Structure 1
Amino acid sequence: MVGSFGFPIAVSVYLLVRLESKLEMLTVSINNLSNVIKKS
């Protein structure tokens, strides 16, 4: 029972952590791009 739930939960948490850092970098990049567009 624990094995059938533990593995998918572990994979989900791992993917969420990985995606969170990538989304943070994407947000920073979009903000930088909008600042460049405003200046020009």
Structure 2
Amino acid sequence: MSNDLVNMIGNLGFPIAVSVYLLVRLEGKLEVLTQSINNLSKVIDKSSED
């Protein structure tokens, strides 16, 4: 049982680590994208008022 668990962690550890790394990076990029969309929305609102 213990040997199987160690083997499973060895086989799955790298893909899990890569997935977590990519999710963390993607979260930061999504935050920047959200801010850009909000800024664009404000600019469009201001230009439609004129």
TM-score range, shorter chain: over 0.9
Letter in 2 for 1:7: F
Q: Over aligned residue pairs, what C-alpha RMSD do you find?
A: 0.5
Counterpart mapping for 1:1-40 below 5 A = 1-40=8-47
- Would you say how many aligned residue pairs link Structure 1 and Structure 2? 40
Identity level (%): 80
Larger radius of gyration: 2
**Structure 1 position 22, deviation (Å):** 0.1
What's the TM-score, normalizing by structure 1?
0.94
What's the TM-score, normalizing by structure 2?
0.77
